[in-house]
Structure 1
Amino acid sequence: MGVPPSAKGTVPFGEHRTWYRVTGQLHSGRPPLVVVHGGPGSTHDYLQNLAALADEGWPVVHYDQIGNGGSSHLPDRGADFWTVDLFLAELDNLLRQLGISDDYTLLGQSWGGTLAAAHASARPAGLRGLVIANAPASYPLWLEELARIRKELPDGVNETLLRHEAAGTTGTTEYHQAMQVFYERHVCRLKPWPRDYTASFYEVYNDPTVYYAMNGPSEFHVIGTLRDWSVTDRLARIDVPTLMITGRHDEVTPLSAQPFQDLVPGLRWEIFEESSHMPHLEEPERFLGALRTHLRELL
């Protein structure tokens, strides 16, 4: 069941609402860890195990980004509505509404890591530290790497994927079966998938508005508005202690993550040898240990 929240609810975000949950007590002496989930268009569920840090004194804030989960769903909005700036504004708003914008740390996973890096590059005064987990620095660079690792799938799998992508039939059972081969190699290698990850996975497809608009029909076929997005030109401005985590079998390959290492001053990079895209689930004890070390260094 995980660690129960001490508070949860929604905060206004313009005409909409952002859902959040807090584990532990805010304003208790240690900066809260704000967790930014992936997608875009996923939910917080698959990152719930990070709430365990609250037992050691670090309050943890999870939230569902607008468009999914407990936040406002807007299925009639077009791709022009779902922008990076929208999600940056939502994060800023959440920090202000919870009264923590003057003292917090940030962990972003996958798309959330790239978003968190963009947030950090603006040098917000209250940000104490940053964790970038399994995130590409540049979508164009990542797409090149995805094309490479797709070719390494078992015989016939990538050919099946390419055929359906060219025909626009990515909703078919055959495409999803081939897609699963990639996911089990490069997204989550655990069998069966953990319940929290499965919950987020199905939330994406319960309302795919955001995911389809910004990403595409799968993790590795990015044809949405993010396909040309990059944060590489902002990374040198990040001025807080930064930890980066990737998995050895991650869909975010070392080359996809390398710009963070090259451009973020003082960044420390840990590669999890037994993990793909979900090391917080695939190697949870090591992941939480790395977070503890990073957070203690910020005190």
Structure 2
Amino acid sequence: MWREIEPDERHVIEVDGHKVVAYSFGAGEEVVFCLNGGPGLPCDYLREAHSCLIDQGYRVVAFDQLGTGASDRPTDASLWTIERYVAETETVRRALGLGKVHLLGHSWGGWLAIDYALTHPEALKTLILEDTVADMPHLVTELERLRAALGPETVAMMQRHEAEGSLAHPEYLAAITILNYRHVCRLAEWPAPVRRSLDDWNMGPYETMQGPNEFLYVGNLKDWNRVPDLPRITVPVLITCGQHDELTPACAARMKRALPDARLTVFPNSSHMPFYEEPGAYYPVLLDFLGRHRGGA
């Protein structure tokens, strides 16, 4: 079960003239390399949910992506591309001498993990895609379906504010808050690591790449689709999501059908963070998958 653990090591890595900070827990050759969501979030929420894997003999590594947390925060919007973040991820892996890793990507970190796996297949033992998608246009249709559950008047109100650019209006924010509690984290009180990451969100990368909120995709990834490329990922893949996930089970199924060697688990009482919402179900699934491929090539 998750708990907050102090990292054994804190590393500062230079990436194209910028400082990126990484955190390492435990030791050994079995490395779980975590790519957190956002974009623009510090890694706290994902790091704290997975550092407990050291109890099973894994080394866990996470890092604050450029623009987040303790890493440098440049304001050049041209830096916020998935291609640059793929290169950054590889720089961190090489700098820390991680070798082949179990790559775990959550949400936006899953998009990054997919592009990384396609670019650096030699670096992976396994791929773990959590609460994520491989087809952004398909996700947009799913998000419209989730929004529709608020009722036609509320959807019309949201569309009006989106058209007018008045996204800070209280009624629009109220609708987003409802969606967040339905589809991002269904806990009445969100865990401290989640709050810590959200309170330090850098909206620069987020708005450039995704959009103004979790339910409106207008950034430079809006047309991103890797489903046609997924058959090239031949390592074992674990896909997980929550029944009520904003990145829906239909999105997860779309990935599973395209991958040669994939398992999919949907957690019935979770939305976007099963590791916090349903830990008793989540950790056995993850540990079983990792255990099956421990010591893999």
TM-score, scaled relative to structure 2: 0.94
Query: Residue in 1 aligned with 2:148?
Result: 151
Counterpart-to-counterpart distance in 2, 1:11 and 1:172: 40
Structure 2: gaps (5+ residues): none
| Contact 1:123–1:238 under 8 Å retained in 2 | no
Partner residue of 1:166 out of 163, 167, 171: 163
For the residue of structure 2 that corresponds to 1:228, the secondary structure is coil
Query: How many residue pairs end up in the alignment?
Result: 291
How do residues 1-299 of structure 1 correspond to structure 2 at under 5 angstroms? Answer: 2-25=4-27, 28=28, 30-47=29-46, 48-75=48-75, 77-78=76-77, 80-100=78-98, 102-154=99-151, 156-204=153-201, 207-299=202-294
| Contact 1:123–1:237 under 8 Å retained in 2 | no
Could you tell me the percent identity over the aligned residues?
34
Counterpart-to-counterpart distance in 2, 1:63 and 1:156: 42
| Contact 1:132–1:243 under 8 Å retained in 2 | yes
- Cα 1:126–1:214 change in 2 (3 A) is closer
Worse overlay, 5-14 or 181-190: 5-14
For the residue of structure 1 that corresponds to 2:6, the secondary structure is coil
Counterpart-to-counterpart distance in 2, 1:185 and 1:126: 36
Counterpart-to-counterpart distance in 2, 1:185 and 1:217: 18
Superimposed CA distance per residue, residues 74-95 of structure 1 (whole angstroms, 9 cap, x where no aligned partner): 12x12x3311101100100000
For the residue of structure 1 that corresponds to 2:126, the secondary structure is strand
For the residue of structure 2 that corresponds to 1:227, the secondary structure is coil
Shift of residue 20, structure 1, vs aligned partner: 0.9
TM-score, scaled relative to structure 1: 0.93
Shift of residue 137, structure 1, vs aligned partner: 1.1
Amino acid at match of 1:14: D
Counterpart-to-counterpart distance in 2, 1:195 and 1:162: 32
Shift of residue 154, structure 1, vs aligned partner: 5.0
Structure 1: gaps (5+ residues): none
Counterpart-to-counterpart distance in 2, 1:128 and 1:19: 24
Counterpart-to-counterpart distance in 1, 2:26 and 2:79: 34
| Contact 1:135–1:257 under 8 Å retained in 2 | yes
Counterpart-to-counterpart distance in 1, 2:174 and 2:52: 34
